[in-house]
Amino acid sequence: MCGFPARAAARHCRSLMERGHVVIVCDQMESAAEAAKRKSSTVERKVTKVLTPGTVIEEDLLDADRSSYLVSLYQSDYKWGLCYADVSTGLVRSVEGESTSFTQ
């Protein structure tokens, strides 16, 4: 767990995700004065974003020179489907088919 100024968030989040970490962003939901009115020294915070290397779509966190793919594979009985999306560009491709047998 760490904290850093909001103006440096993109740089720090990108660095953590490059190292394979999942980044959970929590935002302050009330001011210190509002917490004091509740007779609490703890300011309420909530999770507002979950960032992973495969699902980040924030432009300032994406590397312009690299694709960021998200892939899904579906299999049921003898039908299958494959879909992939490059979340950095919006490119989406899918294919489906049938097979008489699947290797387990």
Q: Of 3-12, 45-54, 85-94, which gets the smallest average pLDDT? A: 3-12
DSSP secondary-structure letter at 44?
P
Q: How far apart are CA 100 and CA 60, in angstroms?
A: 46
Q: Indicate the CATH number for domain 1-63.
A: 3.40.1170.10
| pTM passes above 0.85 | no
For the range 84-92, what are the long-range contacts, defined as Cβ-Cβ under 8 Å and sequence gap of 24 or more?
87/54, 87/55, 87/56, 87/57, 88/57, 88/62, 88/63, 88/64
Please write the tens of the pLDDT for every residue from 7-39.
888 888 888 888 888 999 888 899 999 999 999
Q: What's the mean per-residue pLDDT of the chain?
A: 85
Q: Where are the domains of the chain?
A: 1-63, 67-104
Q: How far apart are CA 92 and CA 68, in angstroms?
A: 12
Q: Which element (helix H / strand E) includes 32? A: helix 32-37
